[in-house]
Amino acid sequence: MPKHSETRPLPYTPEQMFDLVADVARYPEFLPWVSAIRVRSNSDSQMVADMIVGFKGLRETFTSKVDKQRPAALHIEYLEGPLKHLRNDWGFRADGKGGCLVDFTVDFAFKNRVFEMLAGQMFDRALRKMINAFEERAARLYGDSTSASVSSGAEAPGISSSSAHNAA
């Protein structure tokens, strides 16, 4: 069952990063493998949406509820689809220098053992692509920053922690 937890410094405000991540309807424009989003309901504090994901001929729909606490946090609760469970949290904290620290945690497991094995093999690469896609989107929306080491993909020592585990 793949798991990952990471904190990244970014040169954008917590409000900017919250708005980018909470704008689920735009995910097909920049996130790899997301082919469509259908927002079922949306308010200032909560959203329910279907995400259609496609990869190498496979296509699955995930329904999730997003609890929004602007600008500090997003908590994604899995409702239905091909997973046993999904826990996904985003946190946004001002860094005191005009940017923010983005805390990201994801933990999921597929119901289907074959999907679980595939996810375990590709998890780290897919996660890197997704994280890079969010960072590139932020740079396009809010401008690139020369002070951000994350633009080059570098991680500051002691800032990020990451783990990926496969369930046997």
Per-domain residue ranges of the chain? 3-143
Using the predicted structure, report yes or no on whether residue 51 has a pLDDT greater than 80. Answer: yes
Question: Quick one: pLDDT at residue 145?
Answer: 65
Q: Against a cut of 0.75, is the pTM above it?
A: yes
Question: Considering only 14-18, 137-141, 154-158, which range has the smallest mean pLDDT?
Answer: 154-158
Question: Quick one: pLDDT at residue 9?
Answer: 98
Question: Quick one: pLDDT at residue 125?
Answer: 86
Question: Quick one: pLDDT at residue 162?
Answer: 37
Q: What is d(CA 142, CA 2) in angstroms, rounded to the nearest whole number?
A: 31
Question: Quick one: pLDDT at residue 123?
Answer: 81
CATH class held by domain 3-143: alpha beta
For residue range 69-104, what is the model confidence (pLDDT) as tens digits? 999 999 999 999 989 999 999 999 999 999 999 999
Compute how many other C-beta atoms are within 10 angstroms of the C-beta atom of residue 111: 11
Compute how many other C-beta atoms are within 10 angstroms of the C-beta atom of residue 98: 11
Using the predicted structure, report yes or no on whether residue 151 has a pLDDT greater than 80. Answer: no
Mean pLDDT of the chain: 85
Give the rounded distance of the alpha carbon of 78 from its chain centre.
14
Give the pLDDT band of residue 127 (cuts 50, 70, 90). confident
Question: Considering only 40-54, 57-71, 150-164, which range has the smallest mean pLDDT?
Answer: 150-164
Question: Quick one: pLDDT at residue 115?
Answer: 73
Average pLDDT estimate for 148-165 = 37
Q: Which strands form 83-94's sheet, in the order they lie side by side?
A: 3-10, 100-110, 83-94, 73-80, 58-69, 46-55, 34-42
